[in-house]
Amino acid sequence: MDNSHSISPFLIGITDFCLLNISFFAMNYWTQGTWEFSPAYIKLLMLFYFIWFFISFFTKKFRFASYRSYAAVISLYTRSAVYTACCASFVVVMMGLPAFSRLHVLVIWFMMAIQEVLIFSVYYMTIGESAILNDEKEDIGARQEANYSIFLLLTDFLIVGVSFFIINYLKTGSFGLRPQYNQLLLVIYALWLITSLTTNKFARRPFQNYYHSTWPWLKAGILMVGIMCVTIFAYRLFHFSRIHVFGSIFLLIFFELLLCRVYSLLTHNRIRQEDIESVENVKGLLKQKNLSLETDFEKLRLLLLEPVRKGLQEKYLRDYPRLFDLIDQSLDLSEIIQAEMTIINSNDMFHIKTIDGRPVRLLINLHRTNNIRWINRYFLEVHNVLVSGGYFVGRTHTIATHREWLFKKYPKHIANTISIIEFCLNRVLPKLPGLKQAYFAVTKGRDRVLSKAEVLGRLCFCGFRIIAVKEIEERLVFVAQKVKTPSLDQSPSYGPLVKFSRVGMSGGNIDVYKFRTMHPYSEYLQQYMYEKNNLQQGGKFKGDFRITGLGRFMRKTWLDELPMLYNWIRGELNLVGVRPLSYHYFDLYPSDLKELRNKVVPGLIPPFYMDMPKTFDEICESEKRYIQAYQKQPIKTQWVYFLKAFYNIAFNGERSN
């Protein structure tokens, strides 16, 4: 695809917005004979704006990447026109507003679609053909001949009638149809046939799970509701009961979802094994023999002294081969004996506490960390059980793995909706001081969404060193080693405002405040990040997974540093000066620069923005030049650096990486 002639989403959106207004104004002049709007039609225009934006976003009309071929674009514009007409009709019908012109409500969307096609055709024939990935052949090749299920078709045909007559009975107390309602039943059957063929809901296809298999049925139901609204509004069928019309369709959708569930259970290939009940079966399976009551305890002791590798591979982790490979690659399993290993699958700390007095060098818990209410207490109990240098292996469902699982389980649009709801419930609520206790009281800490940074940060906080991390089967697996005592920090960060301990003047400690841009407990991963990722240009860590999506935006716009103005007001920071560093980062500096740094007050705007150094050594030289100049002429140096930094940021667009 040639990106030189691609169109930005903003330009597509503005053009489409103009076409909507042109269509609406033209139709108003045609039907009313004036360019002026009545108050009711102004409200209708506002409603159309909302519907247009929602449908355009839903169909990805503004994304140029969706324009895969000329035919695909025509299909996109047509679908968008149909969807918007259906939505507009749905609102008008459900609110009982028959006074609006049918031309105004329905035709303008198709007028708009014709204009869209004409403009795109001109663009395509002039400069845009090279920018469109022409894959009609791939699209045609991807379409497979439908293999319909006669059972589903006939059953659903009966369900349509059953749903209609059930609603009729609830509405009138009789199964007999009132005048003209037999015509309504025929209309519903016609719409059922059209939407069923359009969505291929009776086709036999290999779906990933039940939720994916129901998506064509849901689409057919939604489309049926929309077309019914258009039909009622276009033909002024407002004398029909809306409860009867839409109640029948919604009841049909409910029955269809049940039908899908039953059908998926009947057709799903499962290996069912009969239970072992008879004595003959037990003997055949176990080959029962009399056991010797004499036990060779010396042999048992020797078994406990064997290395754990064979037992892990062939027995305990037989169903987790990739997990075993990670442990085997990370640890020397020949040095750990059976008696020194514990493997569990539980979220109950009772199992950890019962390990008493026995030296444990390797503890593996196959249960998800997300279901443990007090994660720090759990990690500390593990820390207490392990010998110094012992290893802890665990599994976690992180934000990234959860998203991957979510989009595999549900269709894309449903997954996006669930993702937004879960973000508010599981990620925002637990971090709000007023609602945090209520959240944990209701959920008991189960199925908490944790980030990779938070899990690893908690481990480091509790005295572990991260040995290995890998995503295996939609779970994050970690291997950690007990290397030091737990942190004495009484208040690890969790809320939106974060307090950092930084090196101040004369080597003293200052507490610097910022808005959170990283996941909780990220500050305890400084050493791990330095060991694994090193520093990139500008002195920041490469591929820093600790930063959130919102955090990246806040860092680009410096919104995260607004609370540091409090430190400036208190006199702990200058407006311009060397950055207040963490103790770990400060230890990376050469001794002579450490001494110079201890002689000056740190600042909000670092000398970095004066000369934009690239490497760590260049950053050190930049700070050294600033401090030496500041010691000679403090006021002049601050003004010179401030003006130069302001120019670089405002006019050159300079940013730290």
**CATH number reported for the structural domain that contains residue 318 in this entry:** 3.40.50.150
Last residue of a domain, one of 459, 487, 515: 487
**Kind and range of the H or E element at 467?**
strand 464-472
Distance of CA 59 to the CA centre of its chain: 20
Same-domain check for residues 646 and 619: yes
Give me the number of domains the chain comprises: 4
Same-domain check for residues 59 and 199: no
- Whether 179 is covered by a domain: the verdict is yes
Same-domain check for residues 361 and 469: yes
Same-domain check for residues 510 and 463: no
- Whether 221 is covered by a domain: the verdict is no
Q: How confident is the model at residue 364 (pLDDT cuts 50, 70, 90)?
A: very high
Q: What are 525-546's pLDDT values in tens digits?
A: 888 887 776 655 545 666 678 8
Same-domain check for residues 348 and 263: no
Residue 59 has a pLDDT of 77
- Whether 42 is covered by a domain: the verdict is yes
Same-domain check for residues 355 and 458: yes
Judge whether residue 291 has pLDDT over 80: no
The range of the structural domain enclosing residue 78 comes to: 3-136
Q: Give the single-character DSSP code of 100.
A: S
Same-domain check for residues 501 and 631: yes
For residues 124-143, one letter each, b for 16 or more C-beta atoms within 10 angstroms of the residue's C-beta and e for the rest, the string is beeebeebbeeeeeeeeeee
- Whether 98 is covered by a domain: the verdict is yes
**Kind and range of the H or E element at 634?**
helix 634-650
Contact 282, 288 (CB under 8 A): yes
Residue 215 has a pLDDT of 81
Closest to 106 in 3D by CA, of 277, 240, 229, 268: 229
Residue type, 93: V
- Whether 272 is covered by a domain: the verdict is no
Judge whether residue 64 has pLDDT over 60: yes
C-alpha dist (Å) from residue 337 to 272, 298, 384, 451: 38, 16, 20, 33
- Whether 88 is covered by a domain: the verdict is yes
Find tokens 């299920």 and name the residue.
149
- Whether 293 is covered by a domain: the verdict is no
Contact 363, 391 (CB under 8 A): yes
Same-domain check for residues 465 and 518: no
**Mean pLDDT, all residues of the chain:** 80
Same-domain check for residues 460 and 350: yes
Last residue of a domain, one of 487, 515, 532: 487
Same-domain check for residues 630 and 503: yes
Same-domain check for residues 588 and 623: yes
Contact 463, 489 (CB under 8 A): no
Q: How confident is the model at residue 3 (pLDDT cuts 50, 70, 90)?
A: low
Same-domain check for residues 471 and 325: yes
Q: What are 200-218's pLDDT values in tens digits?
A: 888 876 665 666 778 888 8
Rounded to an integer, what distance in angstroms lies between the CA atom of residue 589 and that of residue 644? 25
Judge whether residue 76 has pLDDT over 60: yes
- Whether 44 is covered by a domain: the verdict is yes
